[in-house]
Amino acid sequence: MKPDVIERLLLDRALGCLDPDVDTLLADYLANAASAATQARELQDVVHLARKAVRQPVLAIEPPNQIHQLVWRHRAERALALAASFVIGVGITALALRASLRREDNAVALAPSIQSEPTGSRQQEASVKTKIESLPFWSNQRLYLLASASTADANAKETVK
Amino acid sequence: MNFFGPACNYGERGDNLRQVQSDTDTVGRLYGQHAGELYHYLARRCPDAATASDLLQETFLQVVRQSDQLARVTMPRAWLFAIARNMLARHYRRQRDPRPVAQLWYEPAEEKDDRLAVMREAIRSLSAELRDTLELRLEQELSYEEIAHVLDVPVGTVRSRLHNAVRQLRDLMNRPEETKQ
Protein backbone atom coordinates (compact mmCIF):
# COMPACT_ATOMS: atom_id res chain seq x y z
CA MET A 1 0.00 0.00 0.00
CA LYS A 2 1.20 3.53 -0.80
CA PRO A 3 2.58 5.43 2.21
CA ASP A 4 0.49 8.56 1.54
CA VAL A 5 -2.71 6.48 1.31
CA ILE A 6 -1.79 4.74 4.56
CA GLU A 7 -1.13 8.08 6.24
CA ARG A 8 -4.53 9.44 5.17
CA LEU A 9 -6.26 6.35 6.48
CA LEU A 10 -4.32 6.53 9.73
CA LEU A 11 -5.25 10.18 10.14
CA ASP A 12 -8.94 9.44 9.57
CA ARG A 13 -8.68 6.56 12.03
CA ALA A 14 -7.01 8.77 14.67
CA LEU A 15 -9.71 11.40 14.16
CA GLY A 16 -12.38 8.72 14.60
CA CYS A 17 -13.84 9.16 11.14
CA LEU A 18 -12.90 5.91 9.46
CA ASP A 19 -15.54 3.56 8.11
CA PRO A 20 -15.74 0.46 10.43
CA ASP A 21 -15.08 -1.97 7.55
CA VAL A 22 -12.01 -0.03 6.43
CA ASP A 23 -10.93 0.17 10.06
CA THR A 24 -11.01 -3.63 10.33
CA LEU A 25 -8.99 -4.04 7.13
CA LEU A 26 -6.50 -1.43 8.31
CA ALA A 27 -6.12 -3.15 11.70
CA ASP A 28 -5.26 -6.40 9.87
CA TYR A 29 -2.71 -4.54 7.77
CA LEU A 30 -1.16 -2.83 10.80
CA ALA A 31 -0.69 -6.19 12.53
CA ASN A 32 1.87 -7.05 9.84
CA ALA A 33 3.42 -3.59 9.23
CA ALA A 34 5.50 -2.42 12.19
CA SER A 35 6.42 1.04 10.89
CA ALA A 36 2.82 1.84 9.95
CA ALA A 37 1.69 0.62 13.37
CA THR A 38 4.19 2.98 15.04
CA GLN A 39 2.94 5.85 12.88
CA ALA A 40 -0.64 4.97 13.83
CA ARG A 41 0.17 5.04 17.55
CA GLU A 42 1.95 8.36 17.19
CA LEU A 43 -0.98 9.95 15.39
CA GLN A 44 -3.45 8.58 17.90
CA ASP A 45 -1.38 10.00 20.77
CA VAL A 46 -1.33 13.42 19.11
CA VAL A 47 -5.08 13.41 18.51
CA HIS A 48 -5.76 12.12 22.04
CA LEU A 49 -3.68 14.90 23.57
CA ALA A 50 -5.22 17.51 21.26
CA ARG A 51 -8.70 16.32 22.23
CA LYS A 52 -7.76 16.63 25.90
CA ALA A 53 -6.39 20.13 25.27
CA VAL A 54 -9.45 21.48 23.49
CA ARG A 55 -11.84 19.87 25.96
CA GLN A 56 -10.47 21.75 28.95
CA PRO A 57 -13.46 23.30 30.70
CA VAL A 58 -13.51 27.06 30.31
CA LEU A 59 -16.66 28.02 32.14
CA ALA A 60 -18.83 25.63 34.04
CA ILE A 61 -21.93 27.81 34.00
CA GLU A 62 -24.98 26.16 32.52
CA PRO A 63 -27.22 28.67 30.78
CA PRO A 64 -30.79 28.85 32.11
CA ASN A 65 -33.57 27.65 29.84
CA GLN A 66 -34.97 30.85 28.39
CA ILE A 67 -36.89 29.34 25.52
CA HIS A 68 -40.27 30.77 26.55
CA GLN A 69 -38.76 34.24 26.88
CA LEU A 70 -37.30 33.85 23.39
CA VAL A 71 -40.63 32.73 21.94
CA TRP A 72 -42.39 35.73 23.51
CA ARG A 73 -39.67 38.04 22.29
CA HIS A 74 -40.11 36.65 18.79
CA ARG A 75 -43.90 37.10 18.99
CA ALA A 76 -43.46 40.68 20.21
CA GLU A 77 -41.10 41.38 17.32
CA ARG A 78 -43.63 39.98 14.84
CA ALA A 79 -46.47 41.98 16.41
CA LEU A 80 -44.38 45.15 16.23
CA ALA A 81 -43.47 44.44 12.61
CA LEU A 82 -47.16 43.91 11.77
CA ALA A 83 -48.15 47.11 13.57
CA ALA A 84 -45.42 49.04 11.77
CA SER A 85 -46.54 47.62 8.40
CA PHE A 86 -50.13 48.58 9.21
CA VAL A 87 -49.19 52.14 10.16
CA ILE A 88 -47.04 52.54 7.06
CA GLY A 89 -49.83 51.11 4.87
CA VAL A 90 -52.44 53.43 6.37
CA GLY A 91 -50.09 56.39 5.96
CA ILE A 92 -49.37 55.62 2.30
CA THR A 93 -53.09 55.11 1.56
CA ALA A 94 -53.97 58.40 3.27
CA LEU A 95 -51.32 60.25 1.28
CA ALA A 96 -52.48 58.66 -1.98
CA LEU A 97 -56.15 59.53 -1.24
CA ARG A 98 -55.23 63.09 -0.36
CA ALA A 99 -53.25 63.49 -3.56
CA SER A 100 -56.06 62.10 -5.73
CA LEU A 101 -58.65 64.33 -4.01
CA ARG A 102 -56.46 67.34 -4.67
CA ARG A 103 -56.16 66.36 -8.36
CA GLU A 104 -59.94 66.01 -8.64
CA ASP A 105 -60.47 69.44 -7.03
CA ASN A 106 -58.03 71.01 -9.49
CA ALA A 107 -59.77 69.32 -12.42
CA VAL A 108 -63.18 70.59 -11.26
CA ALA A 109 -61.83 74.12 -10.82
CA LEU A 110 -60.26 74.17 -14.29
CA ALA A 111 -63.10 72.42 -16.16
CA PRO A 112 -65.61 75.37 -16.74
CA SER A 113 -63.00 77.89 -17.87
CA ILE A 114 -61.38 75.58 -20.41
CA GLN A 115 -64.08 73.23 -21.65
CA SER A 116 -67.59 74.78 -21.36
CA GLU A 117 -67.05 77.65 -23.76
CA PRO A 118 -65.94 75.71 -26.85
CA THR A 119 -68.50 72.97 -26.24
CA GLY A 120 -71.37 75.51 -26.06
CA SER A 121 -70.29 77.42 -29.17
CA ARG A 122 -69.79 74.17 -31.10
CA GLN A 123 -73.30 73.01 -30.20
CA GLN A 124 -74.72 76.36 -31.29
CA GLU A 125 -72.83 76.20 -34.59
CA ALA A 126 -74.03 72.65 -35.21
CA SER A 127 -77.68 73.61 -34.61
CA VAL A 128 -77.39 76.65 -36.96
CA LYS A 129 -75.78 74.46 -39.62
CA THR A 130 -78.58 71.89 -39.35
CA LYS A 131 -81.18 74.64 -39.60
CA ILE A 132 -79.48 76.16 -42.71
CA GLU A 133 -79.40 72.78 -44.42
CA SER A 134 -83.06 72.13 -43.72
CA LEU A 135 -84.25 75.43 -45.38
CA PRO A 136 -84.86 75.87 -49.16
CA PHE A 137 -81.70 77.00 -51.00
CA TRP A 138 -82.84 80.52 -52.07
CA SER A 139 -85.05 81.28 -49.01
CA ASN A 140 -84.55 84.63 -47.25
CA GLN A 141 -84.31 82.96 -43.85
CA ARG A 142 -81.43 80.78 -45.07
CA LEU A 143 -79.56 83.76 -46.50
CA TYR A 144 -80.07 85.67 -43.24
CA LEU A 145 -78.81 82.78 -41.18
CA LEU A 146 -75.77 82.37 -43.43
CA ALA A 147 -74.96 86.07 -43.17
CA SER A 148 -75.34 86.19 -39.40
CA ALA A 149 -73.28 83.00 -38.98
CA SER A 150 -70.40 84.44 -41.03
CA THR A 151 -70.55 87.71 -38.99
CA ALA A 152 -70.48 85.76 -35.73
CA ASP A 153 -67.51 83.73 -37.00
CA ALA A 154 -65.62 86.90 -37.94
CA ASN A 155 -66.34 88.43 -34.50
CA ALA A 156 -65.10 85.28 -32.78
CA LYS A 157 -61.85 85.30 -34.79
CA GLU A 158 -61.26 88.97 -33.88
CA THR A 159 -61.85 88.19 -30.21
CA VAL A 160 -59.31 85.41 -30.35
CA LYS A 161 -56.76 87.70 -32.01
CA MET B 1 -35.33 13.09 6.54
CA ASN B 2 -36.82 14.61 9.68
CA PHE B 3 -34.72 14.58 12.85
CA PHE B 4 -37.29 16.32 15.00
CA GLY B 5 -39.80 13.53 15.34
CA PRO B 6 -43.57 13.74 15.08
CA ALA B 7 -43.64 17.27 16.49
CA CYS B 8 -42.57 18.57 13.09
CA ASN B 9 -45.00 16.59 10.97
CA TYR B 10 -47.69 19.23 10.81
CA GLY B 11 -50.77 18.39 8.81
CA GLU B 12 -51.97 20.86 6.21
CA ARG B 13 -55.01 21.60 8.39
CA GLY B 14 -53.11 21.77 11.69
CA ASP B 15 -54.25 24.84 13.53
CA ASN B 16 -51.84 27.68 14.16
CA LEU B 17 -51.79 27.51 17.92
CA ARG B 18 -50.90 23.84 17.90
CA GLN B 19 -48.16 24.48 15.39
CA VAL B 20 -46.72 27.33 17.45
CA GLN B 21 -46.82 25.11 20.54
CA SER B 22 -45.16 22.32 18.59
CA ASP B 23 -42.45 24.64 17.30
CA THR B 24 -41.85 25.85 20.84
CA ASP B 25 -41.54 22.25 22.04
CA THR B 26 -39.12 21.39 19.24
CA VAL B 27 -36.98 24.46 19.89
CA GLY B 28 -37.16 23.67 23.61
CA ARG B 29 -35.93 20.17 22.91
CA LEU B 30 -33.08 21.51 20.78
CA TYR B 31 -32.21 23.93 23.57
CA GLY B 32 -32.16 21.12 26.13
CA GLN B 33 -29.96 18.93 23.95
CA HIS B 34 -27.48 21.44 22.53
CA ALA B 35 -27.47 24.65 24.60
CA GLY B 36 -24.64 23.37 26.81
CA GLU B 37 -22.21 22.58 24.01
CA LEU B 38 -23.14 25.70 22.08
CA TYR B 39 -22.56 27.77 25.18
CA HIS B 40 -19.18 26.11 25.63
CA TYR B 41 -18.32 26.79 21.98
CA LEU B 42 -19.33 30.44 22.32
CA ALA B 43 -17.67 30.88 25.73
CA ARG B 44 -14.32 29.84 24.25
CA ARG B 45 -14.60 32.70 21.79
CA CYS B 46 -16.03 35.39 24.05
CA PRO B 47 -14.23 37.54 26.59
CA ASP B 48 -16.87 36.97 29.27
CA ALA B 49 -19.73 34.71 30.27
CA ALA B 50 -22.36 37.41 29.79
CA THR B 51 -21.47 37.85 26.11
CA ALA B 52 -21.54 34.09 25.58
CA SER B 53 -24.94 33.90 27.26
CA ASP B 54 -26.26 36.77 25.12
CA LEU B 55 -24.99 35.12 21.95
CA LEU B 56 -26.56 31.82 22.95
CA GLN B 57 -29.85 33.64 23.41
CA GLU B 58 -29.43 35.32 20.01
CA THR B 59 -28.70 31.94 18.47
CA PHE B 60 -31.91 30.41 19.79
CA LEU B 61 -33.88 33.53 18.96
CA GLN B 62 -32.73 32.98 15.40
CA VAL B 63 -33.85 29.34 15.69
CA VAL B 64 -37.30 30.49 16.85
CA ARG B 65 -37.43 32.94 13.93
CA GLN B 66 -36.60 30.13 11.51
CA SER B 67 -38.82 27.56 13.24
CA ASP B 68 -40.85 27.08 10.05
CA GLN B 69 -37.71 25.60 8.48
CA LEU B 70 -37.10 23.08 11.28
CA ALA B 71 -38.76 20.24 9.40
CA ARG B 72 -36.31 20.64 6.52
CA VAL B 73 -33.15 20.67 8.67
CA THR B 74 -31.22 17.45 8.11
CA MET B 75 -28.26 18.11 10.43
CA PRO B 76 -29.62 19.95 13.48
CA ARG B 77 -26.32 20.14 15.38
CA ALA B 78 -24.44 21.48 12.37
CA TRP B 79 -27.29 23.91 11.70
CA LEU B 80 -27.15 25.21 15.30
CA PHE B 81 -23.38 25.57 15.24
CA ALA B 82 -23.58 27.42 11.93
CA ILE B 83 -26.09 29.87 13.43
CA ALA B 84 -23.96 30.29 16.58
CA ARG B 85 -20.91 30.94 14.43
CA ASN B 86 -22.79 33.55 12.41
CA MET B 87 -23.99 35.23 15.60
CA LEU B 88 -20.43 35.33 16.87
CA ALA B 89 -19.16 36.81 13.61
CA ARG B 90 -21.95 39.40 13.65
CA HIS B 91 -21.16 40.29 17.26
CA TYR B 92 -17.49 40.94 16.49
CA ARG B 93 -18.37 42.80 13.30
CA ARG B 94 -20.56 45.13 15.36
CA GLN B 95 -17.71 45.57 17.81
CA ARG B 96 -15.52 46.49 14.82
CA ASP B 97 -13.18 43.66 15.76
CA PRO B 98 -11.44 42.51 12.56
CA ARG B 99 -10.44 39.05 13.85
CA PRO B 100 -12.19 36.09 12.24
CA VAL B 101 -14.28 33.85 14.48
CA ALA B 102 -11.67 31.12 14.57
CA GLN B 103 -8.99 33.40 15.99
CA LEU B 104 -10.94 34.08 19.14
CA TRP B 105 -9.54 31.72 21.66
CA TYR B 106 -9.79 32.48 25.33
CA GLU B 107 -8.56 29.90 27.77
CA PRO B 108 -7.26 29.63 31.33
CA ALA B 109 -3.64 30.70 31.71
CA GLU B 110 -2.54 28.06 34.23
CA GLU B 111 -1.59 24.60 33.03
CA LYS B 112 -0.20 21.82 35.24
CA ASP B 113 0.50 19.11 32.64
CA ASP B 114 3.58 20.04 30.58
CA ARG B 115 2.68 18.02 27.49
CA LEU B 116 -0.83 19.42 27.58
CA ALA B 117 0.60 22.93 27.86
CA VAL B 118 2.82 22.29 24.83
CA MET B 119 -0.14 20.89 22.93
CA ARG B 120 -2.27 23.92 23.77
CA GLU B 121 0.54 26.15 22.57
CA ALA B 122 0.82 24.08 19.40
CA ILE B 123 -2.92 24.34 18.79
CA ARG B 124 -2.75 28.07 19.34
CA SER B 125 -0.01 28.34 16.72
CA LEU B 126 -2.19 26.67 14.06
CA SER B 127 -3.83 28.87 11.47
CA ALA B 128 -7.34 30.05 12.35
CA GLU B 129 -8.97 27.79 9.74
CA LEU B 130 -7.16 24.65 10.91
CA ARG B 131 -7.80 25.39 14.57
CA ASP B 132 -11.49 26.03 14.08
CA THR B 133 -11.95 22.86 12.04
CA LEU B 134 -9.97 20.80 14.55
CA GLU B 135 -11.95 22.13 17.46
CA LEU B 136 -15.27 21.34 15.80
CA ARG B 137 -14.08 17.76 15.33
CA LEU B 138 -12.32 17.10 18.64
CA GLU B 139 -14.37 19.16 21.04
CA GLN B 140 -17.83 19.13 19.49
CA GLU B 141 -17.40 15.71 17.83
CA LEU B 142 -19.03 16.91 14.62
CA SER B 143 -18.66 14.65 11.58
CA TYR B 144 -16.82 15.79 8.45
CA GLU B 145 -20.18 16.51 6.76
CA GLU B 146 -21.43 18.52 9.74
CA ILE B 147 -18.22 20.55 9.91
CA ALA B 148 -18.51 21.21 6.17
CA HIS B 149 -22.04 22.51 6.78
CA VAL B 150 -20.95 24.75 9.68
CA LEU B 151 -17.97 26.21 7.84
CA ASP B 152 -19.69 26.22 4.44
CA VAL B 153 -16.81 24.43 2.71
CA PRO B 154 -16.62 21.09 0.85
CA VAL B 155 -16.15 17.88 2.85
CA GLY B 156 -12.81 17.30 1.10
CA THR B 157 -11.56 20.64 2.42
CA VAL B 158 -12.57 19.67 5.96
CA ARG B 159 -10.72 16.38 5.63
CA SER B 160 -7.54 17.97 4.30
CA ARG B 161 -7.66 20.72 6.95
CA LEU B 162 -7.96 18.13 9.71
CA HIS B 163 -5.15 16.05 8.26
CA ASN B 164 -2.92 19.12 7.97
CA ALA B 165 -3.76 20.18 11.51
CA VAL B 166 -2.86 16.78 12.97
CA ARG B 167 0.36 16.61 10.90
CA GLN B 168 1.38 20.07 12.08
CA LEU B 169 0.59 19.21 15.70
CA ARG B 170 2.65 16.02 15.43
CA ASP B 171 5.58 17.96 13.99
CA LEU B 172 5.32 20.66 16.66
CA MET B 173 5.14 18.07 19.44
CA ASN B 174 8.15 16.19 18.04
CA ARG B 175 10.35 19.27 17.75
CA PRO B 176 13.39 19.33 20.05
CA GLU B 177 12.77 21.07 23.39
CA GLU B 178 15.08 24.03 22.75
CA THR B 179 13.24 25.07 19.60
CA LYS B 180 9.80 25.02 21.27
CA GLN B 181 8.62 28.50 22.25
Residue A47 lies in a domain: yes
**How many CA atoms does the CB half-sphere of B11 hold within 13 Å?**
4
Q: What is the pLDDT of residue B11?
A: 42
Residue A57 predicted with pLDDT over 90 = no
Tens of pLDDT along B112-150? Answer: 678 888 888 888 888 888 988 998 999 888 999 999 999
Q: Where are the alpha helices (DSSP H) in B15-153?
A: 16-43, 49-65, 76-94, 114-125, 128-138, 144-151
Lowest mean pLDDT: which of A18-27, B61-70, B97-106, B138-147? B97-106
Q: How confident is the model at residue A125 (pLDDT cuts 50, 70, 90)?
A: confident
Q: What is the pLDDT of residue B5?
A: 45
A88 and A147 inside one domain = yes
Residue A111 lies in a domain: yes
A159 or B44, which is more confident? Answer: B44
Which one of A51, A71, A72 makes the best mutation probe of the B interface by having the most chain B beta carbons within 10 Å?
Answer: A71
Tell me which residue of B24, B81, B33, B68 sits closest to A70, measured CA to CA: B24
Residue A60 lies in a domain: no
Residue A154 predicted with pLDDT over 70 = yes
Record: contact B163-A73, CB cut-off 8 A: no
A156 and A87 inside one domain = yes
Which one of B106, B125, B131, B134 makes the best mutation probe of the A interface by having the most chain A beta carbons within 10 Å?
Answer: B134
Q: What is the pLDDT of residue B160?
A: 94
Record: contact B43-A59, CB cut-off 8 A: yes
B154 or B33, which is more confident? Answer: B154
Tens of pLDDT along A62-96? Answer: 555 666 777 777 778 888 999 999 999 999 999 98
Q: Considering only the beta carbons, identify the residue of A8, A53, A74 that sits closest to B119.
A: A53
Q: Taking all residues of chain A, what is their mean pLDDT, rounded to a whole number?
A: 80
**Which range marks the domain in which residue A151 is found?**
72-160
**Alpha-carbon distance A93 to nearest alpha carbon in chain B (angstroms):** 30
Size of interface A-B (CB pairs under 8 A): 99
Tens of pLDDT along B55-81? Answer: 888 898 888 888 777 778 888 899 999
A123 and A77 inside one domain = yes
A133 and A83 inside one domain = yes
Q: State pTM to two decimals.
A: 0.62
Angle of CA points B96, B98, B104, to nearest 5°: 110
A94 and A152 inside one domain = yes
**Alpha-carbon distance B131 to nearest alpha carbon in chain A (angstroms):** 10
Domains along the sequence of chain B with CATH: 1-101 (1.10.1740), 107-181 (1.10.10.10)
Query: Which residues in chain B are contacts of A51 at CB distance < 8 A?
Result: 138-139
A108 and A150 inside one domain = yes
A103 and A48 inside one domain = no
Residue A61 lies in a domain: no
b/e map B76-108, b = 16+ CB within 10 Å: bbbbbbbbbbbbbbebbeeeeeeeebbebbeee
* 42-61 in chain B: CB under 8 A from chain A: 43-44, 49, 52-53, 56-57, 60-61
**A-chain residue closest to B160, CA distance:** A8
The CA distance from B100 to A20, in Å, is 36
A78 and A152 inside one domain = yes
Query: Phi and psi dihedrals of B63, rounded to 5?
Result: -65, -45
A47 and A88 inside one domain = no
Angle of CA points B31, B36, B38, to nearest 5°: 85
**Interface ipTM:** 0.72
Which amino acid appears at position B104 of this protein? L
